[in-house]
Structure 1
Amino acid sequence: MKILYMFLTLSLLTLTTHAQNGMLKGRLTTAGEPIPFGSIILTGTNKGTTANEKGYYQLQNIAPGNYEVSFSAIGYLPQKLRVAISKQQATVLNGSLKENYSKLNEVVVTGVSRATELRKNPVPIAVMTKKEMNENVNNNIIDAIVKGVPGVNAVTTGPNISKPFIRGLGYNRVLTLYDGIRQEGQQWGDEHGIEIDQYGIGRAEVIKGPASLTYGSDAIAGVINLIPATPAGRDSVLKGDYVADYHTNNGMIGTSLGLAYKQNGWRYAFRATIKTANDYHNKIDGYVYNTGFREYNLSGMVRLDKNWGYSQIAATLYDNQQEIPDGSRDSLTRRFTKQVNEIATDDIKARPLVSNNELTSYGIAPLHQRIQHYRLYTHNQVKIGNSSLDAALGLQQSVRREYDHPTLPQQAGLYVVLNTLNYDLKYNLPAIGGIESTIGVNGMYQANRSKAATDFPIPDYNLFDAGAFLFMKKTFGKLDISGGIRYDNRHISWRDFYVGPNPANGFERQIKLPDTAGAHLQFPAFKHVYKGVSGSLGFTYNINERLLLKANIARGYRAPNITEIGSNGLDPGAHIVYLGNRGFNPEFSLQEDLGIISYLPDADLTAEFFNNQVDNYIYQAKLTDAGGKPVVIVPGNSTYEYQQSKARLYGAEFTVNLHPRAVKWLSFNNSLACVTGINQNKQLVAQSNGAAKYLPFIPPLHIRSELKVTLQRAYGAFSKIYLKAEADAYAAQNRFYALDNTETATPGYTLINVGAGTTIKLRSEKTLCELFFQVDNLFDTAYQSNLNRLKYFEYYTASPNGRLGIYNIGRNISFKAVFPF
């Protein structure tokens, strides 16, 4: 009876307390139109909610008192209002947000400890939203970022293979993150891209320069953080979207289904994607043989949000069959031919022609690569008073197989499996004297193993990486200062690796101890520890609300990767024999950044300047003999040897984005990016008569302009109608690494693109679908990007049409529809 009495008493007290509390409700709008799924938060409390699809919200059980209410939504300027909550009745408070034409106030988290406004961060950062990525229709996520972020380029091997470069630096110097977890595949290879589902990304953040201290070493160029879309909307309602995407040039068909559900703090998300394409074409080469692909993606996430913090577990699966072009042709007709014999008996001049059916087929050719990537990871945060503890753990497996034996199509030429364990632990300390600080440790363990292959470009190796950091920031009135320091330690080792004949198929195989008779030692044992200190210090000075000045200086560190120190063999997909150097030292960079941002009512103006001095810079160069002739170790394949020298990269990015208030339907966005890369090996430059003066793979001057018209009213079921035209201009690249014909000059070109889009709504105001239409390379311009690897896929020194190498994709018309539900 006592227990029953206590229970009834507590229940009555609870009911009484709830009855004495108040409620806040209202609607979130912009210019009288509802803003769906905006955020409403009581500042300084853990109470908050999300508006429904019509902008209405409701917050219950609020203790009486005076509060500050924060209204926010992506694409709008935030609003803060004061309100008094009284007992036993509902208080009405409506939010009215103004559209944010500038990105300066968007919240980002890349490279910093806590959520930070873009305008307060001294590090150069760019943000791309889901809307912008949808409007920049592309074959892969990296190409969409290249279009939207000045200073970002990509090395490509066909439409589906793009590896990001930031300010002239790429490969392992760009740290790619998926949902904050370091992406680890076989980044050393040119011939495959980022293993991420482009339709599942809700936001992309790009940090330029070596100022990201919290995610690990190697990011001398910068960081690209790809953040998957998370469930939004009301509780207990299944939400989702279906995406249909079609490209005319290579017949690419993309289809993706996403599902999301929320209830009582739990969030669930799932996505499945399929992409398939045949060979792409242009007016010089016609259809480019062996550039088709077939890609599958699956992802799932479960997350619990509570007052104490959150816990999330997620998994992804990526499976891509990517054809491998080699550029072989008939010398007179320039039609593509195909390899049908093994290298030992192959006659490049006697290869059969590729049929038209093979060029337009969605079937994957026997000579192809297969990249599989599996990822399981967890994010967790525990709030401890005014501090928090964040922990993340990730498991990844990358399986890479390249099939290059025409007489044994099931025999992989390259077959490597890379397993990676990522770990990250950081503590966000309580603010002391206005100083926010974070300490942490993170790193990874890797094990790479070769399987039943015939070619072995890299050894089996083990790698353990650990780093500790401290990051701090503080505001002094109009001045925001942030910076930190990091120490990294990397152990890498491998045992003796023997290769010998395989009597079962006539090729080579890995021979393991103790029976190594008849084998040769391809990779002698190696063990080394690389150490490095990196750090950054910067400030943002708010001269006023409209004018900002930013400055940052950062020291970056990167240990040599496996191919730079350990390679000694053929990579079949790249058609390159790589030769590494065990004696390489780590790269260290010192970069200065200066930025000026003017946030005007009718325009955004930015100017960013950088100067980057790199010690022990590592790059690829063609290997030649004493007579200056290319060294050929494997017939039909080039031989590249890694080099190391001092280097300097400097340049600037400018943007002028006009959005006049008097003409709300018009916007005119312009950007310019330039970078120069200088090889500071004075002896080599002198010996080569200046041929080695510039660094390889440096993008030329890039200017992009976009004129966009957005209609301000709906026409029946059609709303948010926009039309746009773009000019994408690249100057000639005459400053290239010309020694031994590693690179050649690249003519300039301008591509004209046009696009349109609209949202179709039902009578209930519910969105039926979003439509996007785009034409890239409207005038079918024939061009070769200087970062297009296919430019150098050529077997002859002369051509009947005067064109050598393979050209980039021609005119492409794309249609994309997104059906939310």
Structure 2
Amino acid sequence: MKIWYLFLILLLPSVSALAQVSVLKGRLTTGSEPLAYGSVTIVGTTIGTTANQKGYYQLQNIAPGSYEVSFSAIGYLPEKLRVTIAKQQTVILNSNLKESYSKLNEVVITGVSRATELRRNPVPIAVMTKKEMNMNVNNNIIDAIVKGVPGVSAVTTGPNISKPFIRGLGYNRVLTLYDGIRQEGQQWGDEHGIEIDQYGIGRAEVIKGPASLTYGSDAIAGVINLIPAIPNGADSVLKGDYVADYHTNNGMIGTSLGLAYKNKNWQYTFRATAKAAHDYRDKIDGLVYNTGFREYNLSGMVRVEKKWGYSQIAATIYDNRQEIPDGSRDSLTRQFTKQVNELAADNIKNRPVVSSNELNSYSIAPLHQRIQHYRIYTHNQVKLGNSSLDATLGLQQSIRREYNHPTQAQQAGLYVVLNTLNYDLKYNLPAFAGVESTVGINGMYQANRSRAATDFPIPDYNLFDAGAFIFGKKSFGKLDVSGGLRYDNRHIKWNDFYVGPDAVNGFEHQVKLPDTTGAHLQFPAFKHIYKGLSGSLGLTYNVNERLLLKANIGRGYRAPNITEIGSNGLDPGAHIVYLGDRNFNPEFSLQEDLGIIAYLKDADLIAEFFNNQVDNYIYQAKLTDAAGNPVIIVPGNSTYQYQQSKARLYGAEFTVNLHPQKLKWLAFNNSVAYVTGINQNQQLIQKSNGAAKYLPFIPPLHLRSEVKITLQQAYGVFSKIWFKTGADAYAAQNRFYALDNTETATPGYTLINIGMGTTIKRKSEKSFCELFLQLDNLFDVAYQSNLNRLKYFEYYTASPNGRLGIYNIGRNVSFKAIFPF
């Protein structure tokens, strides 16, 4: 019994202490919505917890006293609140966090050897989330990025064809990736878009600057990595979403269903998408004939994660029927006309007028292109102690047919099949003396073949590409240093390619050896090896947690693409006869980047400056004869010959985002992007009296400003209600490549856009749907972007209304609903 008395005496102080402890609990919200899985910690202690799915948290056994409590969540500005807790008291402390526009602590995977915090990467990288993409009207995924990333623009051929440009450089200089696999889909053509499902992308990472170190050729301007969305969910629960999208201008109807299922270490995703649109409308032209499209997408993925690493296999299918505008019109009424005859029987100035029913029809016109893209790939990682081995293998097939024969609608003018094998192997070495390093090799093998066609702009060719690199990074206190070197080797070859008359259809066809009687040699045999050394060195200085200084110098490398060295024929979809030069040398660039980034309490301030010197720069220019008249090889089509010279591009981007802490409902975002492109071929500039001073396809000064108001409370079933209004202002572009009227001056213009959105919830607090409403080009401004190829689709030197070429899309109202489940 004495032992029990002694035990009780020793226990009483502990019981007394427990009786004095208190509880802190509450809820994390954002606006009027619960914020799931946020972190709650008491500053200066080890006491902390994570909120549940509905935002509730509870901290127990807290001794009496005065504390500072920190609330944080990824994507939201942190908040610290003071609280005093008495004995045996339960205190309720709620926190309402505001969405953060700061992405410095986000992890990126593009352009680095292994996942890296954005703040530690000296190369300019922009990140765009699915939420940001959903808030903008998009006819395709590139349009979404253009609206969200300063310094990115796009050359367009109607609403559904956008080729990305970064800081004035585009075409094969911008490497587009899908989940880390380089996109290969005959991207050399002016009217060739990106064959990717816009509704299936969960995140975009954009490198603004040379990224040849990691990716080799074709990344001289930068990289756009489109990363598929992988919904998170509990085990053995089917998750997904359904998207319904409608645009009033061209009647675009988009619908997409995504599914995801997780079972322990296994994860499965699937998505199916369909889009259709008729011709778009603008204030000057009315409905623009042959700009409709019909697109289908399928994608799926299986992934398993184990202690040894992970393995993933995925596949995509893309099928798009895209109409081909040519701009032919009646000379007096300016109504669009259509081609119904061939060659000599086709009088461009006497074609029949397109009917109203055809302009409004969702049926695809006989003159169109069909693009099919198939991809299967696998990502794998094996953990080897403190190191890891990553392996990627991908197989793609791109089939492109362009139908331009009205009297033989089933006969393709262009019919090419491109098969590509991508490979990437890298070894992430164990850290040594604080240095994280990676060595790797990657590249591709390609085979391009023409099928039953009548036009042959490029030869059949084989290409093998391989590059080896080493990359390293190390931190010295507040200073992060990273860089590396790479060597590339590209083999390209083709055999003699003959073309002769086809007695069956009256056009031409490919003629193969040994019987080439009556044929002509369109592409003499060619074989060449291109080599390039590239690299980069960058510094990031963390002045403090909110202020960073970045500097990077990079040497980029790009081998000439197939059309630049091998083209000699008509691309029917572009309405251009391309003429290449097999004597071209690789492009090499040397770019310096400086960045100042400040993520302050009430504002984000970003200033990025760049200077890019490019040797052997390749560009298109109209071909003229000795008298200065355009050379016409195929009637109704322009002729462009590739040129090569030195060039310099320089400019800057500025971002000022205001998000006052005391005004949680307000966000005021602003950006400015400027680039100048100088042609340094002094002999040509002098000969042309300055007409060739500037590079083609350089975007003008672009200012973007947007005010967003987010209501901080719910109204019945409506929550997360937001409104926004914005302006896109483009200055006049008077610095253009004027030689031989390759380009013309472009007036400035301003587009006003407004939008709103909300989430509808059930009583169970689960989201029923997200609604988006947006009105673009509110005042229906008639404008032509200098990057709009349709601006130059004109058959006459004058018109009754004084307007030449085709204008950009007019006012458009879009409705989008996303139903998660």
Cα pair distance change 1:124/1:771, threshold 3 Å:
same
The CA deviation string for residues 592-617 of structure 1, in whole angstroms up to 9 with x for no partner, is: 00001111100000100000000000
Q: CA deviation at 1:213?
A: 2.1
Provide the rounded CA distance (Å) in 2 between the counterparts of 1:30 and 1:671. Answer: 26
State the secondary structure of the residue aligned to 2:215. coil
Provide the rounded CA distance (Å) in 1 between the counterparts of 2:279 and 2:407. Answer: 23
The amino acid across from 1:621 in the alignment is: A
Equivalent residues of 2:657, 2:667 under 8 A apart: yes
Equivalent residues of 2:181, 2:422 under 8 A apart: yes
Q: Which residue pairs with 2:86 in the alignment?
A: none
Q: Which residue pairs with 1:202 in the alignment?
A: 202
Equivalent residues of 2:31, 2:713 under 8 A apart: no
Tell me, yes or no, if structure 1 residue 455 matches structure 2 residue 455.
yes
Equivalent residues of 1:212, 1:223 under 8 A apart: no
State the secondary structure of the residue aligned to 1:513. coil
Provide the rounded CA distance (Å) in 1 between the counterparts of 2:386 and 2:628. Answer: 66
Q: Which residue pairs with 1:326 in the alignment?
A: 326
State the secondary structure of the residue aligned to 2:187. coil
The CA deviation string for residues 495-543 of structure 1, in whole angstroms up to 9 with x for no partner, is: 0000000000100000000000000000000000000000000001011
> What pairs with 1:624-773 in structure 2 (closer than 5 Å)?
624-773=624-773
Unaligned runs of 5+ in 2: 1-24, 41-48, 59-69, 81-93
Q: Which residue pairs with 1:363 in the alignment?
A: 363
Provide the rounded CA distance (Å) in 2 between the counterparts of 1:73 and 1:277. Answer: 40
Cα pair distance change 1:38/1:633, threshold 3 Å:
farther
Equivalent residues of 1:195, 1:318 under 8 A apart: yes
Moved more, 515-524 or 225-234: 225-234
Equivalent residues of 1:77, 1:105 under 8 A apart: no
Among the aligned pairs, what percent are the same residue?
A: 85
Equivalent residues of 1:374, 1:396 under 8 A apart: yes
State the secondary structure of the residue aligned to 1:544. coil
Q: Which residue pairs with 1:235 in the alignment?
A: 235
Provide the rounded CA distance (Å) in 1 between the counterparts of 2:478 and 2:275. Answer: 49
Provide the rounded CA distance (Å) in 1 between the counterparts of 2:760 and 2:742. Answer: 51
Q: Which residue pairs with 1:534 in the alignment?
A: 534
Q: Which residue pairs with 1:425 in the alignment?
A: 425
The CA deviation string for residues 249-269 of structure 1, in whole angstroms up to 9 with x for no partner, is: 000000000000001110000
Tell me, yes or no, if structure 1 residue 223 matches structure 2 residue 223.
yes
Cα pair distance change 1:71/1:474, threshold 3 Å:
farther
Provide the rounded CA distance (Å) in 2 between the counterparts of 1:415 and 1:128. Answer: 35
Q: Which residue pairs with 1:156 in the alignment?
A: 156
Provide the rounded CA distance (Å) in 1 between the counterparts of 2:583 and 2:386. Answer: 48
Q: Which residue pairs with 1:818 in the alignment?
A: 818
Q: Which residue pairs with 2:477 in the alignment?
A: 477
State the secondary structure of the residue aligned to 1:144. helix
Provide the rounded CA distance (Å) in 2 between the counterparts of 1:209 and 1:486. Answer: 16
Q: CA deviation at 1:26?
A: 12
The CA deviation string for residues 636-678 of structure 1, in whole angstroms up to 9 with x for no partner, is: 1000000000000000000000000111100100000000000
Provide the rounded CA distance (Å) in 2 between the counterparts of 1:342 and 1:294. Answer: 26
> What pairs with 1:363-382 in structure 2 (closer than 5 Å)?
363-382=363-382
Cα pair distance change 1:421/1:773, threshold 3 Å:
same
The amino acid across from 1:579 in the alignment is: L
Moved more, 403-412 or 30-39: 30-39
Q: Which residue pairs with 1:131 in the alignment?
A: 131
Q: Which residue pairs with 1:298 in the alignment?
A: 298
Q: Which residue pairs with 2:783 in the alignment?
A: 783
Equivalent residues of 2:534, 2:557 under 8 A apart: yes
Q: CA deviation at 1:215?
A: 2.6
Cα pair distance change 1:808/1:382, threshold 3 Å:
same
The amino acid across from 1:363 in the alignment is: S
Q: Which residue pairs with 1:140 in the alignment?
A: 140
Q: Which residue pairs with 1:547 in the alignment?
A: 547
Provide the rounded CA distance (Å) in 2 between the counterparts of 1:302 and 1:350. Answer: 56
> What pairs with 1:19-418 in structure 2 (closer than 5 Å)?
34-36=34-36, 53-54=53-54, 74-76=74-76, 99-211=99-211, 213-418=213-418
Q: CA deviation at 1:547?
A: 1.4
Provide the rounded CA distance (Å) in 2 between the counterparts of 1:34 and 1:181. Answer: 37
Provide the rounded CA distance (Å) in 1 between the counterparts of 2:696 and 2:225. Answer: 26
Provide the rounded CA distance (Å) in 1 between the counterparts of 2:50 and 2:165. Answer: 38
The amino acid across from 1:557 in the alignment is: Y
Cα pair distance change 1:331/1:31, threshold 3 Å:
closer
The amino acid across from 1:326 in the alignment is: D
State the secondary structure of the residue aligned to 2:543. strand
Provide the rounded CA distance (Å) in 1 between the counterparts of 2:511 and 2:101. Answer: 62
State the secondary structure of the residue aligned to 2:491. strand
The amino acid across from 2:660 in the alignment is: P
State the secondary structure of the residue aligned to 1:276. strand
State the secondary structure of the residue aligned to 2:686. helix
Provide the rounded CA distance (Å) in 1 between the counterparts of 2:34 and 2:392. Answer: 37
Equivalent residues of 1:112, 1:213 under 8 A apart: no
The CA deviation string for residues 184-235 of structure 1, in whole angstroms up to 9 with x for no partner, is: 0011011121000000000000001103522332211000000000130111
The amino acid across from 1:480 in the alignment is: D
Cα pair distance change 1:453/1:72, threshold 3 Å:
farther
Equivalent residues of 1:324, 1:367 under 8 A apart: yes
The amino acid across from 1:299 in the alignment is: S
Provide the rounded CA distance (Å) in 2 between the counterparts of 1:723 and 1:282. Answer: 26
Larger radius of gyration: 2
The amino acid across from 2:364 in the alignment is: I
The amino acid across from 2:223 in the alignment is: V
Cα pair distance change 1:331/1:452, threshold 3 Å:
same
Cα pair distance change 1:73/1:227, threshold 3 Å:
farther
Cα pair distance change 1:96/1:350, threshold 3 Å:
closer
Cα pair distance change 1:143/1:668, threshold 3 Å:
same
The CA deviation string for residues 167-196 of structure 1, in whole angstroms up to 9 with x for no partner, is: 000000000000000100011011121000
Cα pair distance change 1:169/1:662, threshold 3 Å:
same
Provide the rounded CA distance (Å) in 1 between the counterparts of 2:534 and 2:51. Answer: 43
Cα pair distance change 1:57/1:586, threshold 3 Å:
farther
Cα pair distance change 1:427/1:184, threshold 3 Å:
same
The amino acid across from 2:297 in the alignment is: N
Equivalent residues of 2:486, 2:534 under 8 A apart: yes
> What pairs with 1:497-576 in structure 2 (closer than 5 Å)?
497-576=497-576
Cα pair distance change 1:71/1:467, threshold 3 Å:
farther
State the secondary structure of the residue aligned to 2:339. coil
State the secondary structure of the residue aligned to 1:358. helix
Equivalent residues of 2:481, 2:540 under 8 A apart: yes
Provide the rounded CA distance (Å) in 1 between the counterparts of 2:243 and 2:214. Answer: 35
Q: Which residue pairs with 1:434 in the alignment?
A: 434
Unaligned runs of 5+ in 1: 1-24, 41-48, 59-69, 81-93
Moved more, 787-796 or 431-440: 431-440
Cα pair distance change 1:334/1:39, threshold 3 Å:
farther
Provide the rounded CA distance (Å) in 1 between the counterparts of 2:533 and 2:442. Answer: 14
Cα pair distance change 1:95/1:705, threshold 3 Å:
closer
Equivalent residues of 1:536, 1:553 under 8 A apart: yes
The CA deviation string for residues 439-475 of structure 1, in whole angstroms up to 9 with x for no partner, is: 1000000000000000000000000000011111111
The amino acid across from 1:484 in the alignment is: G
State the secondary structure of the residue aligned to 1:663. coil
State the secondary structure of the residue aligned to 2:662. helix
Provide the rounded CA distance (Å) in 1 between the counterparts of 2:377 and 2:95. Answer: 38
How many residues align structurally?
767
Provide the rounded CA distance (Å) in 2 between the counterparts of 1:689 and 1:576. Answer: 26
Q: CA deviation at 1:32?
A: 9.8
Cα pair distance change 1:53/1:503, threshold 3 Å:
farther
Equivalent residues of 2:212, 2:534 under 8 A apart: no
Q: CA deviation at 1:715?
A: 0.9
Q: Which residue pairs with 1:614 in the alignment?
A: 614
Provide the rounded CA distance (Å) in 1 between the counterparts of 2:239 and 2:645. Answer: 54
Equivalent residues of 1:249, 1:281 under 8 A apart: yes
Moved more, 570-579 or 303-312: 303-312
State the secondary structure of the residue aligned to 1:344. helix
The amino acid across from 2:368 in the alignment is: H
State the secondary structure of the residue aligned to 1:433. coil
Q: Which residue pairs with 1:91 in the alignment?
A: none
The amino acid across from 1:187 in the alignment is: Q
